[in-house]
Amino acid sequence: MIAIPDLLAIDPGPVKSGYVFFVDGSIYVTDTEANKHIIAAAACPATIVIEWPNLMGMPAGQDIFHTCREIGRMQQAFLDHRARHYKDEGPAEVHLIQRNQVKLALTGRTVGITDAVLRQRLIDLFPATGGGRVPQIGTKAERGPLYNVKGHAWQALAAGVAWAMNQQQTTGEKAQ
């Protein structure tokens, strides 16, 4: 398992966003919320990771532009909150990670990687501690570490784990 620092990972949407909040290397809370609630809850750890849309030459619709606007609003809210309440702890870290970077970090390639492939890779990275057919997710009686991850929170989880993997790789390379 990859070492994941305290962070908030977000898969943004034009109206709602999936998120995963890591505390002490474990998933503390995960859900999909209206963007206004995520922005209002700007009290967060020092590190925020937000998936950035990757168009790759495709035409962009209104949803992409609205999502980009929401990403900017989230960044500003987090940075403002950090500046007001945690001045002594240094600047907030808001990182944007493109979908291709997520795919590359988790699978080593970008072509042919679907959400299902990323989901399976994430499942493989977490310990099999729950019950049922997929113990990383588990059952209601025997929950695994990924028990509450659903919908867009899978993409947020992928963004957070990929960012942590990239950070670990960069740190490891600097140490050598």
Q: Cβ distance 8 to 47 under 8 Å?
A: yes
Burial (Cβ within 10 Å: 0-12, 13-18, ≥19) of residue 13: middle
Spatial distance between the Cα atoms of 128 and 143, rounded to a whole number of angstroms: 10
Spatial distance between the Cα atoms of 28 and 160, rounded to a whole number of angstroms: 13
Single-letter residue type at 124: D
Domains of the chain and CATH, by start: 7-109+149-175 (3.30.420.10)
pLDDT of residue 71: 94
Lookup: tokens for 38: 């995520």
pLDDT of residue 173: 55
- Helix (H) or strand (E) segment spanning residue 49: strand 47-52
pLDDT of residue 137: 97
pLDDT of residue 171: 74
pLDDT of residue 20: 94
pLDDT of residue 141: 96
Q: pTM for this one?
A: 0.89
Lookup: tokens for 58: 């495709």
The residue behind tokens 């999909």 is 32
pLDDT of residue 176: 37
pLDDT of residue 175: 41
Would you give per-residue pLDDT tens digits along the chain (176 residues)?
A: 578 888 899 999 999 999 999 988 889 989 999 999 988 876 666 689 999 988 767 788 889 899 999 999 999 888 888 777 776 666 568 899 999 999 999 999 999 999 999 999 999 999 999 999 999 999 999 999 999 999 999 999 999 999 999 998 887 654 43
